[in-house]
Structure 1
Amino acid sequence: MTPFETEVAGPGTGGMLELISFEIGGQEYCIDVRSVREIRGWTATTPMPQTPDYILGVINLRGAVMPVLDLRCRLGLGRTEPSSRHVIVVIQHGPRMAGVLVDGVQETFQLDASLLQAPPAMDSDANDRFVDAIIPLEGRMLSRLVVGSLLPLEAHAEAA
């Protein structure tokens, strides 16, 4: 397992996982459903100066200021022009919490962890950091994302 992995089961191990899948630019990704706090429609963000390109801005979530990330941009796949068809998935890893903008949520499903496959070695630092497993599922390929590596380190301040 890589240092970024936080899920109980890694590629090739046993046990059941409950995952939630979503789409970004025609590709399917998933994360452990326990990392999801809520799913909400697109809400306009307030831009913040001196932030990385992948941070769209902040929103007020029931009194707490929370960053919203353009997940497509964070993964190095280009920028998203947010619209009402997009969804914000609020994720949490330890004390860090943020919203991630996705094209749409697909489904939640259970999967035997033995079906996870290690991603192939590539020359992409982002792939090594963000994807810890590939899941062949019903003729599709899903990439399991490492929630802890997606969140900005500063997110713990907004979540507190």
Structure 2
Amino acid sequence: MEYTELEDRKVIVFQLGEEEYVIPVRHVGGIERLHPITRVPGTANYIKGVINLRGVVTPIIDLRTRFGMESIQYNEATRIIIVHVNEIEVGFIVDGANDVIDLPDEAIEPSPDVIGTEVYDYIRGVANLNERLLILLDLEKILTEQDIERTQQISRMEG
């Protein structure tokens, strides 16, 4: 699936460190302040646990940890972006969520081969927009099949 599809052009911009990332608005169920997170034993280190969001048990993933970045202390700007991926709902902890923008087709380029980090596996492309370099994430690659199964089990147990 390409980001040039009409419904993927409207995106939410968020931060991890100095980098700005985008995900299509159509995958986003909401942006929340940090909630108390209940740790779940036996999950990957980047799965921080679950939250009860308006009666729905939602697994929470720290994207910094998932991408192999240095952990930081959560603060007032920290947000949880609730996303729908592969028919499940998960929350991504991010350093901050900025704005919603429209990405013009001409701003979107394929993933450059020079990105030498673990994040490369999760990138769909980049957009150069008004001096901003925005990294387009491939949400389906952030969660492994094992993660999806485990989060579904957690949701069923807790819910």
Per-residue CA deviation, residues 7-57 of structure 1 (Å, 9 max, x unaligned), is xx34xx575711110011121000011010011101120111111111111
Q: TM-score, normalised by structure 2?
A: 0.83
1:137 to 114, 129, 136: 129
Q: Does 1:95 find its partner at 2:90?
A: no
**Aligned letter for 2:125?**
A
Question: 2:71 corresponds to which residue?
Answer: 79
**Aligned letter for 2:81?**
V
Is the helix fraction higher in 1 or 2? Answer: 2
1:82 shift after superposition:
2.4
Question: 2:110 corresponds to which residue?
Answer: 118
1:29 to 12, 21, 32: 21
Per-residue CA deviation, residues 63-120 of structure 1 (Å, 9 max, x unaligned), is 2211111111111112233234311100012312110011111111111223211122
Q: Does 1:67 find its partner at 2:62?
A: no
Report sequence identity in percent.
Answer: 28
- Using CA pairs under 8 Å that are at least 6 residues apart, name the structure with larger relative contact order, 1 or 2: 1
Count how many residue pairs are aligned between Structure 1 and Structure 2.
Answer: 151
**Aligned letter for 2:70?**
G
**Aligned letter for 2:55?**
G
Q: Report if the CA contact (8 A) 1:54-1:69 is conserved.
A: yes
Any gaps of 5 or more consecutive residues in structure 1? Answer: 1-5
Q: Distance in 2 between matches of 1:58 and 1:90?
A: 12
Higher mean alpha-carbon deviation, 148-157 vs 97-106, is at 148-157
Please tell me the root mean square deviation across aligned C-alpha atoms, in Å: 2.2
Higher mean alpha-carbon deviation, 59-68 vs 148-157, is at 148-157
1:122 shift after superposition:
4.5
Q: SS of the counterpart of 1:49? A: coil
Higher mean alpha-carbon deviation, 30-39 vs 13-22, is at 13-22
Question: 1:48 corresponds to which residue?
Answer: 40
- Change in 2 beyond 3 A, CA 1:123/1:37: closer
Q: SS of the counterpart of 1:120? A: coil
- Change in 2 beyond 3 A, CA 1:80/1:28: same
Q: Distance in 1 between matches of 2:50 and 2:74?
A: 14
Q: SS of the counterpart of 1:127? A: helix
Q: Report if the CA contact (8 A) 1:15-1:114 is conserved.
A: no
Q: Report if the CA contact (8 A) 1:65-1:159 is conserved.
A: yes
